Chains A and B, each alone.
Chain A
Amino acid sequence: METLSRRGPLVVVEAALGGLAVLSLLLALFWVLGGNGLGFAYGDRTPHSFLATQAVPTVDVRVLGAIGLSTAVAAEQAMDIEDGPNGTMGADGSAYADVIGNSAQVSFWAPTFLQRWAWVASHAAPAAGLALIWLLLARIVRSVRRGEGFGRSTTRHMLIVAALVGVGVPLVQVSQWLVARWLLSTSTAAGLAEVPPVRIAVWPVAVAVVLVVLAVAWQEAGRMRRELEGLV
């Protein structure tokens, strides 16, 4: 086994990546330990609580029908608006603003055991996936320190990261959306609100394509390097 290079920057990078992997894993663990998992910590009801201390699963929804529009209608009625020679504006001369939308948040206070853990799993998965990505990157740096940067394992690790990003991110988005719909459909809010359509981001696929291209180029570079081994 070749000895590890002790060059400063690579050691620091590998250590930093390892630290990030541990932090991400802890973040995933917090979802399991938090209010919706094993219940060791409770927090507020907002859907985007830090460290997953949500008291209960909470999702963004669109309230249907006249109920959904009622806030916007009431807000419009509350604003003192008038049409004048300079267009629509407030009676006090302030700039016209329009209240639109029927967004709201719904908290589910009695999810079933399966629903609760489906919620935890779909929200812990991103952090767990990120931990794996940091770990794979740390392994790549370690291979470089070992003088095996162009080895086959590096290409394999890059392809795994590409898959985690390109497939994993959209998969998580869809799973979180499906779990939210499941929670809503079995609650008292069913029929009154809907979960907005899932929006699959394009950037993970683009990043994955970039990584695959780099992995292929890396693999070819490794092959060329192996051909030059033993050249004096």
Chain B
Amino acid sequence: MSPADSDDGHRIECTLDAMLAARGMTLTELADRAGISIVNLSVLKNNRARAVRFSTLTAVCDALGCDVADLLRVAAPLASA
């Protein structure tokens, strides 16, 4: 589900997919490095998360060697009908 379709009224998009691909890292490896469960990372990766703890953001950014802005962005709004 893309964030633009979200029922929660937000357009935050997670670029975890692209970040992992760029680093040749799997979700399992990231889970091991960040100490976050694969289930939660999967929720984040597939844009199904409704809220993210700061501790989760810190751990993921440290494991990927990136900033929050590299991980999360605001998707463009859908064109109104």
Q: Does B43 contact A (CB under 8 A)?
A: yes
The docked-state distance in angstroms from the alpha carbon of A228 to that of B41 is: 16
| Closest A residue to B39 using CB positions | A232
The docked-state distance in angstroms from the alpha carbon of A110 to that of B74 is: 83
Q: Does B36 contact A (CB under 8 A)?
A: yes
Stretch at the interface among B17-25, B49-57, B63-71: B49-57
A to B contact number (C-beta, < 8 Å) = 22
Count class of interface residues, chain B: 10 to 19
In the complex, the answer to whether A230 meets B53 with C-beta atoms within 8 Å is: no
Q: Does A231 contact B (CB under 8 A)?
A: yes
- The 0/1 profile, CB within 8 Å of B marked 1, for residues 196-232 of chain A is 0000000000000000000000000000000011111
- B17 nearest CB across to chain A (Å): 15
Q: Give chain B residues whose Cβ lies under 8 Å from the Cβ of A230.
A: 43, 48-51
CB-defined A-B contacts under 8 Å, sample of 22: A228-B51, A229-B50, A230-B43, A230-B48, A230-B49, A230-B50, A230-B51, A231-B49, A231-B50, A231-B51, A231-B52, A231-B53, A232-B36, A232-B40, A232-B41, A232-B43, A232-B44, A232-B49, A232-B51, A232-B52, A232-B53, A232-B56
A-B CB proximity, top 9 nearest: A230-B50, A232-B40, A231-B51, A232-B49, A232-B44, A232-B43, A230-B49, A232-B56, A232-B52
**Besides the known contacts A231-B51, A232-B36, 16 further A-B residue pairs in the complex with CB atoms under 8 A apart:** A229-B50, A230-B48, A230-B49, A230-B50, A230-B51, A231-B49, A231-B52, A231-B53, A232-B40, A232-B41, A232-B43, A232-B44, A232-B51, A232-B52, A232-B53, A232-B56
